Amino acid sequence: MIVGAKYLPDSQSTRFSNNMKARILVISGVIGVSIAALGTYLLFQSWSKRMRIESHAQEANTARMRALYQCISHVAIIDPHLFAETIKGGLRTNSVGLPTAMKDRFIFSTNDVSSLFLDRWSHPFNLSIRPVVSTNKQKAVYQIILWSSGPNGIDENGKGDDIPAQWDLLEVPLE
């Protein structure tokens, strides 16, 4: 074998060939590991970004649910008879299906009223309002549970990808 302008005997040629093969294998391994590390890094960055977006979506949903809860509790306090009549034995609906009598009494701090009734994925919030037995005859007590159906838009009763929120019991003074 001739390397450069120098002739190598067969034994040295074989050693040279094996040495080059080993170097090529090492270089290929280094390149493979580098590509795998880069792929892992990019996958982690994508996952991290998705988690930040989902966290922001959950915060936005919680803020909207809190505002909707405040509107519902405000109606209960300013007009307890309307609230009691609307709820009766309990109400399970979505935010778009809230009775108009209640919606008309909402006080909004924003001009974009429709966004209050929809989650981050433009699905109506789900809610359950039910009276709780109370020994206090001066107050009516209600449990209000709100939840978003999540990205898939399917109401899974607070499970699956649903995002639930529950606040303390709402106490409404009776006149």
Q: Specify the higher pLDDT residue, 28 or 12.
A: 28
- pTM across the whole model: 0.59
Residue 66 has pLDDT above 60, yes or no: yes
Would you state the pLDDT for residue 64?
A: 81
Would you state the pLDDT for residue 13?
A: 54
Q: Where are the alpha helices (DSSP H) in the chain?
A: 10-78, 80-87, 100-103
Residue 148 has pLDDT above 80, yes or no: yes
- Other beta carbons less than 10 A from residue 5's beta carbon: 5
- Tokens 């989650």 found at: 119
Under 8 Å between Cβ of 131 and 140: yes
Number of domains in the chain: 1
Which domain does 27 fall in, by range?
A: 2-173
Would you state the pLDDT for residue 24?
A: 80
- Burial (CB < 10 A; 0-12, 13-18, 19+), residue 10, is exposed
77-128 pLDDT, tens digit per residue, is 888 887 888 777 777 877 777 776 676 666 555 555 566 678 888 888 888 8
Would you state the pLDDT for residue 143?
A: 86
Average pLDDT over residues 60-72: 80
Of the listed ranges 69-78, 107-116, 139-148, the least confidently predicted one is 107-116
Would you state the pLDDT for residue 112?
A: 53
Would you state the pLDDT for residue 113?
A: 56
Please state, rounded to an integer, the average pLDDT across all residues of the chain: 75
Would you state the pLDDT for residue 22?
A: 76
Category of 157 on φ-ψ map: left (φ > 0), alpha (ψ -120 to 50) or beta: left
Would you state the pLDDT for residue 141?
A: 85
